[in-house]
Amino acid sequence: MSAALLEIESLSKSFGGVVAVSDCTMTIREGSVVGLIGPNGAGKSSVIDLVSGFEQPSSGSVRFAGVDVVGKRPDQISRMGMIRTFQTPREWRDLSVLDNVRVGRSDLERESLWRSLTSARRLRRQDSIDTEELRELMAHYHLDERRNDRAVGLSGGQKRLLEFARIASAKPRLTILDEPMGGVNPVLGERIGEAIRELKKAGSTVVVVEHNLPFVEKTCDEVMVMDLGSVIAQGRFDELRDNKRVVDAYLGNDDE
Amino acid sequence: MLRSVSGDMSIFWISLGMGLAVAAILALSAVAFTLEYAVSNVVNLAHGEVLTIGAYAAYVSDTNFHQSLYVCAIIATVFGALAGMALNFGLIERFRNQKPVSTLIATLGASLILQNLLLIGFGGASVSYGFAQGSLLHVGPFLWTTLTIRVMLSAVVVAGLIYILLQRTRLGKALRAVSQNRELAQVSGIPARSVVMQTWAVAGAISGFAGFLYGETIGTITPTIGNGFLLLSITAAVGGGLGRPYATLGGAVVLGLVMSIAGTYTSSAYQLVFAFGFLVVMLLIKPNGMFVRGRALTVRA
Amino acid sequence: MLQYWTAILTEATIFGVLALGIDMIWGWAGDFDLSAYAYFALGVYMTIIMTVGKAKAPVEYVLGWRLPYLLAVVIAVVVVVAFASIIGAIALRNLRDVYFSITTFGAVWAIYYLVENFTPLFNGYNGVFGLFDPLGQHLSYNAYHYFFFAFCLLVLFLVYLLVQRLSTSPFGRMVRAVRDDERAASVYGRNVFWAKYRTYLFGAGLAGLSGGLFAAYIGAFNPLDWKPTEIFVLYAAILVGGRGNPRGVVLGSFIVYVGFVEMTRYIPSPAARPELGPALRQILIGLLIILMLKFRPSGLLPERLGTDGTGVRRSWRSWLTRSRRLPDPRHDDVAPDPAIGVES
């Protein structure tokens, strides 16, 4: 059994009087692709926000690679090797597509103000070397032709692929995707499924929050089901199909 | 704006009283500012100029057309409304698809234009209204002129009208819907553009009237009086709760108090420094406003 | 005639340095900072009071040293950056967009009124004076002005090289990313506050430096010389030249600043109404700001993209045809800022 990469224990969060996450416990093992499903309002996105540092839990703990991350800022947690997406693609609109992927590489030491002033020539040379690698990556996602255009001009589908290219260049330990299939056509959906498989091959553990159940079935090794703020079931997709609690949760709160 | 001497308690009450009149005018200006933000999601840096336009309109009708006090007040209100609508039509609506900061910068440009047009038209020297100040009256610990009392009463009346508008008319309800979500309101059958225009007319009318009241209270006006009112309106609105009329009103009251107290114990020139200090402190500890629940982690428009 | 042009160009050069600083905060980091002028003014005041010696009653001001001019400028820059480090730490923590701009708007006026009224600081309304030709007392009157212009030009050139280098470096790229989407930037490990803060301090430092230059140019300084409304010509200049592009900013500074000064020469300003000329100038500046924002927000020289060079033709004519065919790159359209967690 591979090591636990992300350990969530008794996580709870309330916004005002509304309970979003309630005593949620789950463990994500390294190397797996885990689907996180559940009806609307189950708390899935809140868990992502809590885990990635965009919200602070009311109680409970989150350990990423063995380190307690509650209270850390999002950028601190990312630097530990976690990357998450949002429900809509968030490209850096006025940067070129090439630069979007380049910045994704997270070569933070190069970005010191001092070094940018004093070692400009060396940094520029490094950039040129990186460009080769980045172009390969972008070609893989069919973005190479648009590499010198502003990211804002890409189509919605291309922006989603850009996000994957960006993640791929960052080589994270854990990738959390928040509804990557939202409003996506089947052809693009195939491409995204492939992208997730490639992320796994490259060594990243992936968590996918999704409503598109066929997609989850095809892409994920394991599935966790949330309802009303906590995990109500987990296991392989075909096992859960017959799980009464899961069916009830979906039928009971069905507003998809 | 105010004259004060430090120390003596009776002086404190007197300056507080005088301060109340100006604070009342400020409250109206702040509420108008907040209505503009509520309906168009815009910080209107040309807001002070609408006030000034009203003040000058009243001046012209007094000096050149020798109208009575009440007619001048109406003229000021009408011109304020026209200015508000022109600003909305010519600028605000045209920047609707841009970031709020871009619109803010654009209103800065508009402020430059309007202020300097007034400067060209009327010169930089101060001009005065010809209305009588009236006799002095002791009301409790305060020392007021009948003029001051009239100013404060009309401010209260206008505040009451605003309340009625917001709570009991269709426009008020539509305004709230549009300020929440313009697209949604439009789709629900509310003529958003018309509501926005009407709101700017109302906000402009209030500002124009406030400009007239200012001219009445202080006696003289210049093309640059808008600067002070803009800054203080922003302070009151942001301090109380941007986009919320009642919260802004509360903010104006608190600001008035802060400035009065500051004015009593230091020189009157520092009141503005204290006012802005108040703004900065509010933005740091409660950026959503004193009278608004909840704390935003990052405050963005 | 040559004298006149030297003076104007010297001013344009000094304000070019200031514009580069403002552009870093506005164009690169995306924060519209209205208090830049306060940093400039502080630079001027500090430079003067550190070179003209002790205050003699009834004039009052703090410090009052007799340092060599260049040393005073360096210290002035340090003081300005220190001051900016406090304001920046407060304003950039949690405030963005409109709220940030309002805060700086309030701050600059508060500082203005404070300086105007608190006489012990910089002699209040009457201001400070006495800095005469600090770089070359032995030169003739005319020669000194050419020399000082050349000096300012050199400073601008060096500053430009530095700023341009920073703009196209990984740091500059990262600041633009933070500007375009903070949340995405933090997801990729960038410390948003620290990025904006460093940019802010650098920009403030440049503002202070331009103040130091201006101190020598003008010799005396009082609140009338820096009413916050006077700075808007520079914002117009940055918009015209190209936000986020140091070359554009310098270009815009010269075009707009010199253009406007020249233009007001030809506007009739009758003796009875001396305020007419400046008022018309301000109206035109306001119009320029509005028109640029509406129709060409990216300016003459748009912000440079990080491209790999191939497939991108950089010809002079291409920007003309490009601007007619393609949509404007920096149209500042509202990018919808979706809520992080729609309950899912």
A106 and A201, same domain (yes or no)? no
pLDDT attached to residue B11: 54
pLDDT digits (tens, 9 = 90+) for A99-128: 999 999 878 888 999 989 999 899 989 998
Residue B274 lies in a domain: no
Contacts of C189 (CB under 8 A, 6+ apart): A75, A78, A79, A106, A108
Residue B189 lies in a domain: yes
Give the domain range for residue A47. Answer: 4-91+171-252
Model confidence band, residue B208 (pLDDT cutoffs 50, 70, 90): very high
- Chain C residues in contact with A110 (beta carbon < 8 A): 170
Can you read off the two tokens belonging to residue B195?
Answer: 């509501």
> Angle between the C232-241 and B100-122 helix axes, to the nearest 10 degrees?
130
Closest residue to C103, CB basis, from B280, B297, B298: B280
- Chain C residues in contact with B270 (beta carbon < 8 A): 113-114, 117-118
pLDDT attached to residue B298: 52
- For chain A, percent of residues with pLDDT exceeding 90: 71
Query: Chain C: nearest CA to A73, how far in angstroms?
Result: 9
Residue B166 lies in a domain: yes
pLDDT attached to residue C330: 53
Local confidence pLDDT in tens for the 344 residues of chain C: 788 889 999 999 999 999 999 999 999 999 999 989 999 999 999 999 999 888 888 888 888 888 999 999 999 999 999 999 998 998 898 889 898 998 898 888 889 989 988 888 899 888 898 888 777 667 777 788 889 999 999 999 999 999 999 999 999 999 999 999 999 999 999 999 999 999 999 999 999 999 999 999 998 999 988 988 888 999 999 999 999 999 999 999 999 988 887 777 777 667 777 778 888 889 999 999 999 999 999 999 999 888 876 655 455 555 555 444 344 455 555 444 443 333 33
Q: B127 pairs with which residues across the strands?
A: B221
Residue C295 lies in a domain: no
Rg (C-alpha) for chain B, rounded Å, is 19
Residue B88 lies in a domain: yes
Determine whether the interchain pair C340/A49 forms a contact, defined as Cβ–Cβ distance below 8 Å: yes
A236 and A203, same domain (yes or no)? yes
Residue C236 lies in a domain: no
A137 and A178, same domain (yes or no)? no
Residue B255 lies in a domain: no
Query: Chain C: nearest CA to A2, how far in angstroms?
Result: 26
> In this predicted structure, which of A247-251, B86-90, B166-170, B217-221 has the lowest mean pLDDT?
A247-251
Query: Buried b vs exposed e over B168-186: b needs ≥16 C-beta within 10 Å?
Result: eeeebebbebbbeebeebe
Residue A164 lies in a domain: no
Q: Which C residues, 178 through 197, put their C-beta within 8 Å of a C-beta on chain B?
A: 182
Residue B249 lies in a domain: no
Query: Chain B: nearest CA to C144, how far in angstroms?
Result: 36
Determine whether the interchain pair B106/C293 forms a contact, defined as Cβ–Cβ distance below 8 Å: yes
pLDDT attached to residue C81: 97
Residue C303 lies in a domain: no
Query: Buried b vs exposed e over C155-171: b needs ≥16 C-beta within 10 Å?
Result: bbeebbeebbbbbbbbb
A108 and A78, same domain (yes or no)? no
> In this predicted structure, which of A47-51, A242-246, B54-58, C17-21 has the lowest mean pLDDT?
A242-246
User: What is the distance between the alpha carbons of residues B212 and B200, in angstroms, rounded to a whole number?
Assistant: 18
pLDDT attached to residue C325: 39
Which of B108, B227, B295 to mutate to test binding with chain C, by most C CBs within 10 Å of its CB? B108
Contacts of B74 (CB under 8 A, 6+ apart): none
Provide ipTM, 2 decimals.
0.92
Give the domain range for residue C82. Answer: 2-227
User: What is the distance between the alpha carbons of residues B76 and B50, in angstroms, rounded to a whole number?
Assistant: 10
Number of independent structural domains in chain B = 1
Please name the residue of chain C whose CA is at the shortest distance from the CA of residue B95: C294
- Chain C residues in contact with A104 (beta carbon < 8 A): 188
> Which residue is listed with tokens 């080769």?
A132
Neighbours of chain B (3+ CB pairs under 8 A): C
User: What is the distance between the alpha carbons of residues B258 and B44, in angstroms, rounded to a whole number?
Assistant: 24
Residue B198 lies in a domain: yes
User: What is the distance between the alpha carbons of residues B226 and B50, in angstroms, rounded to a whole number?
Assistant: 8
User: What is the distance between the alpha carbons of residues A185 and A199, in angstroms, rounded to a whole number?
Assistant: 21
A81 and A175, same domain (yes or no)? yes
Residue B243 lies in a domain: no
pTM as predicted: 0.90
> In this predicted structure, which of B168-177, B283-292, C8-17, C82-91 has the lowest mean pLDDT?
B283-292
> In this predicted structure, which of A44-53, B218-227, C314-323 has the lowest mean pLDDT?
C314-323
A108 and A224, same domain (yes or no)? no
> Which residue is listed with tokens 């394991």?
A222
pLDDT attached to residue B296: 52
Query: Chain A: nearest CA to C98, how far in angstroms?
Result: 20
- Chain B residues in contact with C96 (beta carbon < 8 A): 298-301
Cis peptide before C58 (omega within 30 of 0): yes
pLDDT attached to residue C47: 95
Angle, CA A199 vertex, CA A194 and CA A202 arms, to 5°: 125
Most confident of A109-118, A247-256, B43-52, C318-327: B43-52
Residue C244 lies in a domain: no
User: What is the distance between the alpha carbons of residues A91 and A161, in angstroms, rounded to a whole number?
Assistant: 10
Question: 10 Å Cβ neighbour count for A139?
Answer: 13
- Which of the two residues, B22 and B222, has the higher pLDDT score? B222
Query: Chain B: nearest CA to C170, how far in angstroms?
Result: 26
> Which residue is listed with tokens 């308690």?
B9
Residue A160 lies in a domain: no
pLDDT attached to residue A250: 77
Parallel/antiparallel/unpaired status of strands A4-15 and A18-29: antiparallel
A80 and A60, same domain (yes or no)? yes
pLDDT digits (tens, 9 = 90+) for B107-158: 999 999 999 999 999 988 888 887 766 677 777 766 677 777 888 888 889 9
**C172: contact with A, CB 8 A cutoff:** yes
Number of independent structural domains in chain C = 1
- For chain B, percent of residues with pLDDT exceeding 90: 46
Number of independent structural domains in chain A = 2
**C306: contact with A, CB 8 A cutoff:** yes
Question: 10 Å Cβ neighbour count for B227?
Answer: 19
Pairs of CB atoms within 8 A across B/C:
152
Question: Strand, coil or helix: what is B89?
Answer: helix
pLDDT attached to residue B1: 33
> Which residue is listed with tokens 């089947």?
A186
Give the domain range for residue B129. Answer: 9-224
Closest residue to C332, CB basis, from B98, B116, B123: B98
Can you read off the two tokens belonging to residue C34?
Answer: 């209205």
A83 and A202, same domain (yes or no)? yes
Contacts of C339 (CB under 8 A, 6+ apart): none
Determine whether the interchain pair B276/C107 forms a contact, defined as Cβ–Cβ distance below 8 Å: yes
